[in-house]
C-alpha cells in the first residue's frame, strides 16, 4: 500500500504556480481572486482563510467580502456583479454553503463564466460535458484527476466507481473520467443514497472515489485488493483526546481498507489540499485568458 500524499502534490503545484506567477507579474499586474463568504460558519471561515493564504504564497492577490447571514439576495448579487465588472479581478469564488434564502445554483450562475474559477456555473458545467478545455473544472474533481495524473495511475480500460452524485464532486468527476483522453477513457459507475447493494458496486472498482460525507462507511469488505482509493469525505467525529473535541476522518475506514489498497489518500492530507491548489491553477488560467483578450 502506498499513501498518496496530497499535501506534497499540492505543494509541488503551488511551487510551480509561484514560479509562473512571478514570471507573469514582471510585465503585468498580479492575478487576483475575489471571495465572498456569508456568515461565520467555522468550516467556511477556515476554507476561505486557507485559500487566501495559499494565494498570498503564490503571489496571487485576493479580496474578501463577508456578508452577515441575513444578507439579501439582491445585495449578494450586486456584489457579484461588481466583481464581474472589475477588470482587476480574474476569479470569483462564493463559498458554499449559503443561507437557505439564497439559491446556490442561481448564485453560481451569476458569476461571469470567464471568472467562474469554482466551475459550478451553468456554462462551465456545459463545457465540461463538451470536453472543452477552455472551461473551468470545479476544484475537487480537477484535484482528483491531477492526483491520478501525478501518481501515474492508469484510467484507460479501468473501472472507476464514484460514490456520490453531487454537482460539486460526483457528476463532474464522472464526466472527467469519461473524457476521450488520458486521464479519462474509464468505464464509470456512479452510486449514491439510492443505490441497492453498494458493496457489489464498490467491490468492482479499480479506482474508488468516495464523496458520501459519512464517516468510515467504506470498509474492507467493500473493496477489492489492489484498488486505488480517493477519499473525498471530510467528516468530523468526536475525539476527547483532541483539544478541539473532534478529529477529521474520511468516508473510508482507512485502517482496514489501506492494507488492501494499492494506493489510498488519507484524510486529512489527501484530496483537501489539492482542491486549494486547483483553485489557484484555475485563477491563473482565468488571468491568462483575460490577458490574451486585453
> Is residue 169 near a copy of itself by the rule CB under 8 A?
no
Rounded Cα gap, residues 217 and 237, in angstroms: 13
What does residue 222 show for φ and ψ, rounded to 5 degrees?
-100, 5
> Contact at 8 Å (CB) between 253 and 125?
no
Distance, C-alpha 158 to centroid of its chain = 22
Rounded Cα gap, residues 21 and 31, in angstroms: 8
Rounded Cα gap, residues 204 and 19, in angstroms: 41
Considering only residues 157, 238, 241, 294, which one is a binding residue for a copy of itself as defined by CB under 8 A? 157
Least spacing, CB of residue 259 vs a copy of itself, in Å: 26
Is 26 a residue of the active site? no
Rounded Cα gap, residues 203 and 133, in angstroms: 32
Beta carbon nearer to a copy of itself, 180 or 243: 180
> Is residue 222 near a copy of itself by the rule CB under 8 A?
no
Considering only residues 48, 89, 176, 188, which one is a binding residue for a copy of itself as defined by CB under 8 A? 188
> Contact at 8 Å (CB) between 51 and 279?
yes
> Is residue 175 near a copy of itself by the rule CB under 8 A?
yes
> Contact at 8 Å (CB) between 124 and 135?
yes
Is 118 a residue of the active site? yes
> Is residue 112 near a copy of itself by the rule CB under 8 A?
no
Is 51 a residue of the active site? yes
Considering only residues 122, 245, 259, 288, which one is a binding residue for a copy of itself as defined by CB under 8 A? 122
Least spacing, CB of residue 276 vs a copy of itself, in Å: 23
Considering only residues 37, 61, 110, 127, which one is a binding residue for a copy of itself as defined by CB under 8 A? 127
Least spacing, CB of residue 131 vs a copy of itself, in Å: 8
Catalytic residue of the set 61, 79, 90, 95: 95
**At which residue does the C-alpha cell 470545479 appear?**
138
In 10 A of CB 58, how many CB atoms? Answer: 25
Q: Which residues bind a copy of itself (CB under 8 A)?
A: 105, 109, 121-130, 132, 156-159, 165, 167, 171-172, 174-175, 178, 180, 185-192, 194-196, 201
Amino acid at each position: 500500500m502506498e499513501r498518496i500524499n496530497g499535501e506534497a502534490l499540492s505543494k509541488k503545484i503551488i511551487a510551480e504556480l509561484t514560479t509562473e506567477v512571478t514570471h507573469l507579474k514582471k510585465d503585468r499586474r498580479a492575478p487576483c481572486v475575489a471571495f465572498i463568504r456569508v456568515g461565520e460558519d467555522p468550516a467556511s471561515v477556515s476554507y476561505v482563510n486557507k485559500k487566501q493564504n495559499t494565494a498570498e504564497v503564490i503571489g496571487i492577490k485576493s479580496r474578501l467580502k463577508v456578508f452577515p447571514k441575513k444578507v439579501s439576495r439582491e445585495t449578494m448579487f450586486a456584489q457579484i456583479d461588481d466583481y464581474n465588472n472589475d477588470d482587476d479581478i480574474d476569479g470569483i469564488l462564493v463559498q458554499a454553503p449559503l443561507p437557505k434564502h439564497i439559491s446556490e445554483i442561481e448564485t453560481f450562475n451569476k458569476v461571469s463564466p470567464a471568472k467562474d474559477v469554482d466551475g459550478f456555473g451553468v456554462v462551465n458545467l456545459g463545457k465540461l460535458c463538451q470536453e472543452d478545455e477552455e472551461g473551468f473544472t470545479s476544484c475537487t474533481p480537477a484535484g482528483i484527476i491531477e492526483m491520478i495524473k501525478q501518481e501515474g495511475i492508469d484510467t484507460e480500460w479501468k473501472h472507476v466507481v464514484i460514490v456520490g452524485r453531487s454537482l460539486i464532486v460526483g457528476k463532474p468527476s464522472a464526466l472527467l473520467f469519461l473524457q476521450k483522453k488520458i486521464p479519462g477513457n474509464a468505464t464509470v459507475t456512479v452510486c449514491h443514497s439510492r443505490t441497492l447493494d453498494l458493496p457489489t458496486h464498490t467491490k468492482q472498482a479499480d479506482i474508488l472515489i468516495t464523496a458520501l460525507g459519512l464517516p468510515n462507511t467504506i470498509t474492507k469488505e467493500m473493496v477489492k485488493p489492489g484498488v486505488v482509493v480517493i477519499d473525498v469525505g471530510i467528516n468530523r467525529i468526536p475525539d476527547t483526546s483532541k483539544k478541539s473535541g473532534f478529529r477529521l476522518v474520511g468516508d473510508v475506514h482507512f485502517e482496514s481498507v489501506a492494507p488492501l489498497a494499492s494506493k489510498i489518500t488519507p484524510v486529512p492530507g489527501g484530496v483537501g489540499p489539492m482542491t486549494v491548489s486547483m483553485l489557484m491553477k484555475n485563477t491563473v488560467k482565468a488571468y491568462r485568458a483575460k490577458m490574451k483578450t486585453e
